[in-house]
Chains A and B, each alone.
Chain A
């Protein structure tokens, strides 16, 4: 099975900061990677698909990059609404779908 590893697990940042979260796959997944945002008590929300495509309605301060085994989610200028937990997810293998363990973005 493909394993997904996110870093860091927790990130403390201030409003206006540039934030980068990394996701590594245990084997190549081409560009079959998505990023989700989840707030407490809520369902996850799709932000980025196919590694770098912005989901409709998602603010342009969110961007994704990478291919193969290393990917990043960048928030160019952190806003108060962005404090949440972020998950990467691979869908290269259609026998299983795997999420990273999550990165919690906290207020510094």
Chain B
């Protein structure tokens, strides 16, 4: 079935780094634009980063620009988020989400992985 599975979350100290992965299955990953979206505990949804289907176009939210790097490997059906210089306010559940051309909306979501930034 159509599935996105995130991994790589955990507890990290402020200023530290973490790399999230998202494994796709059950659909043609290379046809999908992908994004990372996060949700701080008890808060709403915040878009973090976007990458086009080929990887040639990338955007970031201002809150993570210069610290986070999104990438993808279509041969491995995988999406990544390298997070550096982490801050307490980056604490959140991180979701990977896919955008199909037919809907132009986030129609496939992973289950999320928790990132906690604390000393």
Contact, CB under 8 Å: B95 / A49: no
Q: Which residues of A contact B47 (CB under 8 A)?
A: 96-99
Residues of B within 8 A of A55 (CB): 103, 107
Per-position binary interface string of chain A over residues 7-43, scored 1 when its CB falls under 8 Å from any chain B CB and 0 otherwise: 0000000000000000000000000101010100011
The A/B interface has a contact count, at CB < 8 Å, of 57
Contacts of A96 in B (CB 8 A): 47, 59, 61
Cross-chain contact A44 with B44 (CB below 8 angstroms): no
Bound-complex Cα distance A95 to B60 (A): 8
- Asked if residues B50 and A97 are in contact (CB atoms below 8 Å), the reply is yes
Known: A43-B112, A94-B59. A99 touches B46 (CB 8 A): yes
Question: In this complex, which of B61, B105, B110 has the most chain A Cβ atoms within 10 angstroms of its Cβ?
Answer: B105
- CB pair B103 A43 closer than 8 Å: no
One digit per residue, 1 when the CB lies within 8 angstroms of any chain B CB and 0 when it does not, for chain A 39-55 equals 00011111001100101
A-B contact pairs, 22 of them (CB 8 A): A34-B103, A36-B106, A43-B95, A43-B109, A44-B45, A44-B106, A46-B105, A46-B106, A46-B107, A49-B103, A49-B105, A50-B103, A87-B44, A87-B45, A91-B104, A94-B50, A96-B59, A97-B35, A97-B50, A100-B44, A101-B44, A102-B45
